Amino acid sequence: MLWPFRFCPACGTPVHGEAGVAPLNCEACPERFFRPVSVGVAVVLIENRQMLLGRRRDGGWCIPCGYLEWGEEVASAARREFREETGLEVEIVGIRQVQSNFHRPEDLSVGIWFDGRRLSGELQAGDDLVAVQFFDCWEIPEILFPTDRRVIDEWIRSVDSIT
């Protein structure tokens, strides 16, 4: 949805409100419009104490992720994005973290990091990724998103605490 808009999509009357902060209110009908927030989904796959990361076209590394599509269930979206980007079919076995992403001010999102377990497939970068690779916790490359970094830091602390 283009945001902010000046006229009510329901009746065409001008809307008022502090766009992007509060909902926009229609002056004629009871409609209120909230700026949509995207939902990002990521899958953390750890095997042999290594985490799978992907390198994006822009050069940064991240935990394989993507956006929820309209009508899609969140865990299904996570499995789909992971399959598209890594070639691997996973089952979702838990939720590792939920965070608000503020690194793209024009596209705010809520991210859900799921834990996955590999079922099948052959590891191969696809979609937005040009490389996929497992990393030990001491050789993690430069990470693009600060929220991914927090997920990784927490994983590193948990590895440290059991060794």
Binding residues for Zn ion (CB under 5 A): 8, 10-11, 13, 26, 28-29, 31
Which residue, among 102, 121, 144, 104, has the nearest Cα to 45 in the 3D structure? 121
Q: How far is the CB of 4 from Zn ion (least distance, A)?
A: 15
Alpha helices (runs of H) in 36-134, residue ranges in sequence order: 74-86
Burial class (CB in 10 A: 0-12, 13-18, 19+), 86: buried
Which sign, positive or negative, has the C-alpha torsion 106, 108, 113, 119?
negative
Whose Cβ is closer to Zn ion: residue 6's or residue 57's? 6
Whose Cβ is closer to Zn ion: residue 8's or residue 44's? 8
Q: How far is the CB of 108 from Zn ion (least distance, A)?
A: 25
Whose Cβ is closer to Zn ion: residue 27's or residue 89's? 27
Beta bridge partners of 26: 15
Give the distance, in angstroms, between the CA of residue 91 and the centroid of all CA atoms in the same chain: 17
Q: How far is the CB of 34 from Zn ion (least distance, A)?
A: 15
Whose Cβ is closer to Zn ion: residue 35's or residue 150's? 35
Q: How far is the CB of 7 from Zn ion (least distance, A)?
A: 8
